[in-house]
Chains A and B, each alone.
Chain A
Amino acid sequence: MATKSLKARNNDIANTSRQLEILSNGIFADGELPTFAAKIKETNQFPLRPKKLEILQINLGYMCNQVCEHCHVDAGPDRKEIMTVETMQQCLDVIKNTGAHTLDLTGGAPEMNPNFRWFVEEASKAGIKDFIVRSNLTIIRANKKYYDLPEFFKKHNVHVVSSMPHWTRGKTDKQRGDGVFDKSIKALQELNAVGYGMPNSDLKLDLVYNPSGAFLPGDQMALEADFKKALKADFNIDFHHLFAITNLPISRFLDYLIASENYEDYMYALVDAYNPSAVANVMCTNTLSVSWNGWLYDCDFNQMLNLKVASKVKHIKDYNEDLLQDRNIIINQHCYGCTAGAGSSCQGTVA
């Protein structure tokens, strides 16, 4: 598997306008499949508009210790885009005043940002109801300086959400890299040891499941039951919930789809599984995404496609929640990934 990001490899797909071109051409341009806009017009859901803001998702940087095959961020050790203290301060000002009940820190590996701990400490003072850190698990075992992360998370009552594509080593390592499974298991056991994920524990530990290939996720509850059974029996691991997330056809996953000649079949599968009731609850209707350099997006996927919010306010330094709420959400064919089947969001299914 690749050890460098698409960007470092100068891959054509690293260019966001090239990605948008692919998503707009071919089967969508020749009318073989309806565009996402045409599809949501069928149920009078165009233009897509925000509802009440519930989640502020902040990307602390694209640097990561892993180079996962499906990563929509194109994250990796070679990515140097990291949020500065100045931008973090602007985010903190917003966090103190936002109406959102959830703060969701993501990356890359957010823990690799040198000011991560300071930012968590400051943000936790704002009294946000649900404070999520998306941890890839292996970071906890990557270097001694991260070994105490479970204790650090506990101290600040952080809700840990971690990626785990399968309960078997083979499938996990194929998607996320050799050795990832064993390290992830060790990290989960350490999180359990400080109380995370235990039955009735307030220290929330949820897992994220992404399919390891060109297929959609199965039923979230059934997968959760299978994960729980296997992780308990094999490794005595406990966790709370599993979020089944569909891979969106952008960035490295798009590159994989094209290289493996699965792109068209995958787009057909997404369109065939289109569920209008998922549209009403897609995450862009209750979330705002902030990039490492402070720009605002409808969601993390639009961030990776460099599609900034269609609002006068485009940057965290000018943040105005009322103005931002009055906008049309930017859509393209990748949005089919969030409306397939039971729907998909960073919080799992939506329909």
Chain B
Amino acid sequence: MSKNYYDAADLRKFGKITEWSEELGNKFFDYYGKVFEEGALTAREKSLIALAVAHTEQCPYCIDAYTKDGLQRGITKEEMMEAIHVGAAIKSGATLVHGVQMMNKVNKLEM
């Protein structure tokens, strides 16, 4: 077993999760595959959303996978970076918007 919590080679083994729970594993991969099909959003748009979410979730496997997916689709590095900034903006916005809660609490507690 690897001495690291994350091993890049483990991404290739993702499909094996089905071996210990076939029904749920298959349902997950069917769902996953369906989600990324061309729909109201293009597969290209979905790839960029996935890349942004991969970063906000800080999933190294997903970052590897959707960076490569983006390159395969001809997505430029500028587009990828902009997508990540969207994720980062929401992440930081989500932190900062809680500042209102802090302000509310201060206003309530302070004389």
Contact = CB atoms under 8 A, between A and B. Distances in A.
| Interaction A to B | yes
Contact of B74 (A166, A170, A216): A166
A213 interface: yes
Interface in B63-106: 68-69, 71-74, 76
Given A168-B76, A268-B12, A272-B12, A215 B71 contact: yes
A223 B12 contact: no
Interface residues of B, number: 11
A226 B68 CA distance: 18
Interface in A255-273: 268, 272
A268 to B, nearest CB: 7
Contacts, number: 32
A171 B77 CA distance: 10
A215 B73 CA distance: 10
Contacts of A209: 74
A276 B28 CA distance: 25
Given A222-B43, A222-B44, A216 B12 contact: no
Interface string A166-181: 1110110000000000
Contacts of A170: 76
Nearest to B71: A215
A15 B68 CA distance: 31
B12 A215 contact: no
A209 B74 CA distance: 10
Contact of B43 (A166, A171, A219, A227): A219
Contacts of B43: 219, 222
Interface in A187-235: 209, 211, 213, 215-219, 222-223, 226-227
Contacts of B76: 168, 170-171
Contacts of B12: 268, 272
B47 to A, nearest CB: 9
A277 B69 CA distance: 22
Contacts of A211: 71-72
Nearest to B43: A222
A215 B68 contact: yes
A340 B81 CA distance: 28
A216 B69 CA distance: 9
Nearest to A165: B74
Contact of B72 (A166, A168, A215, A227): A215
Nearest to B67: A215
A93 to B, nearest CB: 43
Interface string B51-71: 000000000000000001101
A242 to B, nearest CB: 10
B44 to A, nearest CB: 7
A211 B69 CA distance: 12
A231 B50 CA distance: 27
Contacts of A268: 12
Nearest to B76: A168
A234 B105 CA distance: 54
Interface string B18-52: 00000000000000000000000011100000000
A167 B42 CA distance: 19
A272 B44 CA distance: 22
A91 to B, nearest CB: 36
Contacts of B44: 222, 226
Closest 10 CB pairs of A and B: A218-B72, A218-B73, A215-B71, A215-B68, A215-B72, A226-B74, A223-B74, A216-B72, A168-B76, A213-B71
Interface of B: 12, 42-44, 68-69, 71-74, 76
20 contacts: A166-B74, A168-B76, A171-B76, A209-B74, A211-B71, A213-B71, A215-B71, A216-B72, A217-B72, A218-B72, A218-B74, A219-B43, A219-B73, A222-B43, A222-B73, A226-B44, A226-B73, A226-B74, A268-B12, A272-B12
Given A213-B71, A218-B74, 11 more contacts: A168-B76, A170-B76, A171-B76, A211-B71, A215-B68, A216-B72, A218-B73, A222-B73, A226-B44, A226-B74, A227-B74
